[in-house]
Amino acid sequence: MKIGLSLGYSGSKMALPMDTVLLAEKLGFDLVTCAETYGSDAITPLAYIGALTKRIRLGTSIAILSARSPANLAMCAQTIDAMCGEGRMVVGLGTSGPQVAEGWYGQPWGRPNYRLRDYVAIMKKIWKRDGPVTHDGKEIQLPYPKDAPSSSGLGKPLKSILHGNASIPVYLGTDTELNIRMTAEVADGWLCMNWVPGKTDADYRKLLAEGLAKRSDGKTLKDFGIQAPIDVQLTHDIKAALATAKPEIALYVGGMGAKGKNFHVDKMVKRGFADAAHRIQELYLSGRKEEAAQVVPDEYVDESGLYGPAERLAQRYREFADSGLTCMTVRKPSDEVMHVLGDILRRQT
Distances from the Cα of 272 to the Cαs of 200, 269, 276, 293, 301, in angstroms? 10, 5, 9, 18, 13
Query: What pLDDT is recorded for position 298?
Result: 97
Q: Three-class SS string for 174-189?
A: CCCHHHHHHHHHHCCE
Q: What is the per-residue pLDDT across 129-155, written as a single tens digit (0 to 9) for each?
A: 999 999 999 999 999 999 999 999 999
Residue 282: HSE in the Cβ half-sphere, 13 Å Cα cutoff: 7
Contact 239, 201 (CB under 8 A): no
d(CA 97, CA 91): 19
| pLDDT score, position 221 | 95
Helix (H, G, I), strand (E, B) or coil at 5: strand
Q: Which helix (H) or strand (E) holds 307?
A: strand 306-308
**Using CA atoms, how far apart are residues 202 and 196, in angstroms rounded to an integer?**
9
Q: What is the pLDDT of residues 289-301, one digit of tens each?
A: 999 999 999 999 9
Sign of the four-CA dihedral 189, 194, 198, 201 = negative
**pTM for this one?**
0.92
Burial class (CB in 10 A: 0-12, 13-18, 19+), 319: middle
Give pLDDT < 70 ranges for the chain: none
Comparing CA positions, the residue from 170, 218, 166, 186 lying closest to residue 118 is 186
Integer Cα distance of 131 and 103 in angstroms: 36
Separation CA 60–CA 90 (nearest Å):
7
Alpha-carbon distance of 265 to 334, in angstroms, equals: 29
Q: Which of 75, 10, 86 minimizes the C-alpha distance to 45?
A: 10
Q: Where are the alpha helices (DSSP H) in the chain?
A: 18-27, 44-52, 70-84, 98-103, 112-128, 177-186, 201-212, 238-255, 263-270, 274-285, 289-295, 298-302, 310-322, 335-348
Domains of the chain, CATH where assigned: 2-231+309-348 (3.20.20.30), 236-308 (no CATH)
